[in-house]
Structure 1
Amino acid sequence: MHIRNAKPGDYPLYDGQGLYLVRTAAGSLRWRLKYTRPDGRENRMALGALPEVSLAAARKARDAARELLRQGIDPVAHARERKLEARRISEANFPAAAAAWLAKKRSNWAPETYRKAKYIVEAYLTPALRKTSVATLGSREANAAIDAVIAKAPALGRKARQHLAGIVEDAIHDGLRNDGQRILFRPQARTREAKGHIPAATSLKEVRAVVQAIRTYPNPVVRAALELSMYTAMRPGVVASVPWEELDLESGEWLVPAERMKTRHAHIVPLPRQAVALLRALEPLSGRQTFVFPAQARQKTPHLNRDTLSAALRAQGLRGTHATHGFRGMLRTVARERLGIDPDVLEAQLAHAKKGEVAQAYDRTRFDEERRDAMQRWADFLDAQE
């Protein structure tokens, strides 16, 4: 084969035993192998381009393909299987498999549910299993990873086990792991989990401490976000990321769209007079940009981070006694005991999922007016605790 002196009209150039060099319309030179499949049909195999693949390398690839044919193996099918296997190995790497699982779940989860799952996977599971393949992950390794989560953050143990089981199940469905090869979690991995309630102020003394701690917090934006959480009992992630467009201060309503709710149902939140006043006071501070609570220094999110609210409560001495999510428990317990508000009204305010309920554009139950009255009474009660 005389490649160096070949002219365009000389192609294809044949080297023997099916190997030849073709010139494409774009002018590149590519190696091809003509061969007969084990079933008797003729086929072509691409071996690469010149000069990346030299004549010697092309001959070596040809000989390897002919050896496979002698064994009754189609070299093209063999190459395809090797690529698929390499892809499976790459996708079965735990970090990749976990990321793929999260990506699939994102569209079906509320933003806060996804954020929590992503945190558990990236902060705990992936570091522990980063060198592991979901194709070969065994029960011993899985239980060790869950035990490590429980040792550092007991409250996250149950969710970590649930997420790990989901990642493995997804790997089975995607063909990255053999059917039926599920993880057997040890009983102690279940029983050792801390199932305690989220810290919440439920006594009158504790409620007063929370109100006073919030009212004395120095940062006006964070303080206002904590007050809105306290007045409405909405989930902290929803409060921290509320955009101005969801608020109707004239009617005193906050319309939270379905995609921002854990229940995936849009929710109407009645705003007491105190909440409307603090939101109006925020307008000059935020310039009424997209978000009500703009990001503070060194925050990566375009709005206030919910973790900033947690940090503020801890800074005010409430660690272990009241958390940002605890405003919900505080309303459910104290408003029932101290104000005698009907539990169904409180459940409607908290937007807890109702089994068997038909989805609606907005969850306008018969408690609209009752909730408006209840939340105004709740705000007045809180103000009296200063």
Structure 2
Amino acid sequence: MLTDAKLRALKPRESVYRIADALGLAIEVRPTGTRWWRFRYRFNGIANMLTMGEYPGVSLVEARKRLGAARGLLDNGIDPSAQRKVDNEAAKSKAEHAKRGTFAAVAADWVAFKAKGWASETKRKAEFVLDRYLIPALGDRDIATLAAKDAAKPLLALAESAPNLARKARQYIGGIVRYAQREGLRDEARALPLAEVLPSFDKGNIPAVTTPDEVAKLIEAIQDYPAAVVRAALLCCAYTAQRPGVVAAMRWDEIKGEEWHIPGPKMKMRHAHIVSLPRQAVALLDEMKAFTGGREYVFPPLARQKTPHLHRDALSNALRRMGFAGQHATHGFRGMLRTVARERLGVAADVLEAQLAHAKKGEVQKAYDRTTFTDERRKAMQAWADYLDNLRVGGKVIPIKRRKA
């Protein structure tokens, strides 16, 4: 039998040779000087050889221990070589899971998958919630064993300050877990019950001012806001009633004279949208050329912002500084138009819905109703901009009368 002294004394030859130990174990010496442990055996009458590691990394004692394990498999009718392949696949799968199976890794893959059908603003919101609230708390968690009690902690913390955002975060976690199940990273039978995690609360509506006095105060406050880029973007939200994220990311190549052509990927419903720009909005865009020189984005980012254009949070922050927290949100300009223009200017509801690019209700209507009310919307939005200016200076408001069909 071999000893450590004999093993150290082995010298390479011109060809490979082996020195036996016992029970099929041998040391193989190669011309390069490397020495490998080999186990020669027969399984179902067929000769085979299993590598047991390289000496001296695998010592004589360790080699004999591995030999004992391999012979134990043979005694139980298992081919050691076949078992090694199974073990290697299991180890590879485990390593792959460790690489892909954390909440952070699965969340990134889920966002990439979902983004193919998302508007840019939807993707931005998901990434914001994940990066700000969920990844710091759950990023290193194994998605295969993530429990409801783990997810509940960041959700409850978020619900204290932003309950609506907490509901959205819960939705994201559910989507990420279902994606992990489809990808084989989590047992399909292992659900994540989050329906009762958050306390009940009144959803309410997005804050929006809707009386003439309130609207007048809002527009006056915006007009007096010192940051020119933010002021122009907020007024553009007011004049067009488009989603704040879309306004903040407005590009110069989307402006076609007195129209703003918003591409489908930017819109929530993924349909391209044409917005008629009133004179006041066109004047704002002309002012912005002094800041961007007609480059890519209309509204440049503020200092310390990492986005290539003005961040929509800058608009929210400005409204809070003006004292409108809880009274009017950036998204509230849409509700303001829908309510005030209908009540005070008599703009038809379907014209307003077309301006807001709301989805058609009902499958038949979505399939066959292609009306966009282009002419009516152009007149309505100019009247709306004039109304806002007249409120600010105390002028007279003339309601719009829709043309009879």
Q: TM-score range by the shorter chain?
A: 0.7 to 0.9
Relative contact order, CA 8 A, sep 6+: which one is greater? 1
Deviates more, 1:115-124 or 1:190-199: 190-199
Give structure 1 stretches of 5+ with no counterpart: none
2:371 aligns with one of 338, 341, 365? 365
How far off is 1:224 after superposition?
1.0
**In the aligned structure 1, how far is the partner of 2:114 from the partner of 2:33?**
44
Deviations 1:215-259 (A, max 9, x none): 11112111111111111011111111111001012xx11111111
| 1:143–1:186 contact (8 Å) kept in structure 2 | no
1:67 aligns with one of 44, 66, 69? 69
How far off is 1:79 after superposition?
1.6
**In the aligned structure 2, how far is the partner of 1:37 from the partner of 1:240?**
73
Deviates more, 1:253-262 or 1:59-68: 59-68
What's 2:134 paired with?
125
How far off is 1:306 after superposition?
0.8
What's 1:175 paired with?
184
Please tell me whether residue 302 in structure 1 is matched to residue 308 in structure 2: yes
Deviations 1:248-307 (A, max 9, x none): 12xx11111111111111111111111111112221221111111111211111111111
What's 2:253 paired with?
245
Please tell me whether residue 215 in structure 1 is matched to residue 223 in structure 2: yes
- TM-score for both structures, normalised by structure 2: 0.81
* Letter of the structure 1 residue corresponding to residue 97 of structure 2: R
**In the aligned structure 1, how far is the partner of 2:155 from the partner of 2:267?**
29
* Letter of the structure 2 residue corresponding to residue 240 of structure 1: A
Over 3 Å counting, the alpha-carbon distance change for 1:145 and 1:297 in structure 2 is closer
Larger radius of gyration: 2
| 2:359–2:366 contact (8 Å) kept in structure 1 | no
SS of 1:319's equivalent in the other structure is coil
* Letter of the structure 1 residue corresponding to residue 309 of structure 2: H
**In the aligned structure 2, how far is the partner of 1:292 from the partner of 1:30?**
70
Q: Describe how 1:1-386 pairs up with structure 2 within 5 A.
A: 6=12, 10=15, 12=16, 14=18, 17=25, 20=28, 55-57=56-58, 60=62, 64=66, 67-68=69-70, 70-71=72-73, 72=78, 73=80, 74-185=83-194, 187=196, 189-249=197-257, 252-354=258-360, 355-356=362-363, 365-386=371-392
Deviations 1:127-146 (A, max 9, x none): 33245322112233333442
**In the aligned structure 2, how far is the partner of 1:46 from the partner of 1:109?**
52
* Letter of the structure 1 residue corresponding to residue 217 of structure 2: A
Q: How many residue pairs are counted as aligned between the two chains?
A: 372
* Letter of the structure 1 residue corresponding to residue 182 of structure 2: H
**In the aligned structure 1, how far is the partner of 2:18 from the partner of 2:366?**
71
Over 3 Å counting, the alpha-carbon distance change for 1:377 and 1:4 in structure 2 is farther
* Letter of the structure 2 residue corresponding to residue 242 of structure 1: M
| 1:241–1:292 contact (8 Å) kept in structure 2 | yes
Give structure 2 stretches of 5+ with no counterpart: 1-6, 393-405
How far off is 1:331 after superposition?
0.7
**In the aligned structure 1, how far is the partner of 2:64 from the partner of 2:379?**
83
* Letter of the structure 2 residue corresponding to residue 273 of structure 1: R
Q: Identity of counterpart residues, as a percentage?
A: 44
How far off is 1:186 after superposition?
5.1
SS of 1:180's equivalent in the other structure is coil
CA RMSD of aligned residues (A): 3.2
How far off is 1:99 after superposition?
2.3
**In the aligned structure 2, how far is the partner of 1:238 from the partner of 1:33?**
67
**In the aligned structure 2, how far is the partner of 1:304 from the partner of 1:190?**
33
How far off is 1:21 after superposition?
6.8
**In the aligned structure 2, how far is the partner of 1:307 from the partner of 1:82?**
46
- TM-score for both structures, normalised by structure 1: 0.85
SS of 1:107's equivalent in the other structure is helix
SS of 1:322's equivalent in the other structure is coil
Deviates more, 1:268-277 or 1:78-87: 78-87
**In the aligned structure 2, how far is the partner of 1:292 from the partner of 1:3?**
79
Over 3 Å counting, the alpha-carbon distance change for 1:19 and 1:159 in structure 2 is farther
**In the aligned structure 1, how far is the partner of 2:87 from the partner of 2:28?**
21
How far off is 1:19 after superposition?
6.2
| 2:155–2:198 contact (8 Å) kept in structure 1 | no
Deviations 1:292-324 (A, max 9, x none): 111121111111111111111112221111111
**In the aligned structure 1, how far is the partner of 2:29 from the partner of 2:115?**
49
